[in-house]
Amino acid sequence: MLRFRAIAETASKVNANMENIGARRLHTIMTTLLKKPLFEQPKRGEKKFKITAKIVKESLDGILEDQDLSRYIL
């Protein structure tokens, strides 16, 4: 089962505060969230990993707080 509530809420907030680019924003946020776990995956050897609301918050809060950086990255 896939649940994307924290990720979708983050995408919605960014779309509300900046230009609304819809699903492209969600795609960008997913890419940002998955970049590190996917890069490290071969080293860990695990077959599964879970993106929790805490991970979403930790990964994106710094970007979301800085409007200039947010416009560039998200």
- Convert the pLDDT of each residue in 50-62 to its tens digit: 888 888 888 887 7
Per-residue DSSP letters for the chain?
----HHHHHHHHHHHHHS---THHHHHHHHHHHHHHHHHHHHHH--S-----HHHHHHHHHHHHH-HHHHHHH-
Residue 53's CB: how many other CB atoms inside 10 A? 13
Which pTM value belongs to this model? Answer: 0.62
| pLDDT the model gives residue 8 | 81
pLDDT at 34 exceeding the cut of 80:
yes
Q: How confident is the model at residue 2 (pLDDT cuts 50, 70, 90)?
A: low
Q: How confident is the model at residue 31 (pLDDT cuts 50, 70, 90)?
A: confident
